[in-house]
Amino acid sequence: MTENLSPGDIVRNPEAPDWGQGRVQSVVGNRVTVNFEECGRLVIDRAHVKLEIVGRNAVLPDIRFNAQVSE
């Protein structure tokens, strides 16, 4: 399982680099909602996907997150 994540953390999925970096929106149990640069908002099951932390509660003004919402 991925180490403790908090809202605001910047993460990436090493298995899907085309998603870009994402900002953690919420963490509930194994479910993490992340707003990724290239594919929008995704709900990730940490039991199946290992997210890599890029920054802790980072402020990255050069990153623009896609407003798309996936269901």
- For residue 38, name the pLDDT band (cuts at 50, 70, 90): very high
Of 14-18, 35-39, 49-53, 63-67, minimum mean pLDDT range:
63-67
- For residue 71, name the pLDDT band (cuts at 50, 70, 90): very low
pTM of the model: 0.75
**Other Cβ atoms within 10 Å of 42 Cβ, number:** 19
Q: What is the DSSP string of 11-40?
A: EE-TT-GGG--EEEEEEETTEEEEEETTTE
Quick one: residue 17, left, alpha or beta (phi over 0 = left, psi -120 to 50 = alpha)? alpha
Checking if the pLDDT of 45 tops 80, the result is: yes
Checking if the pLDDT of 16 tops 90, the result is: yes
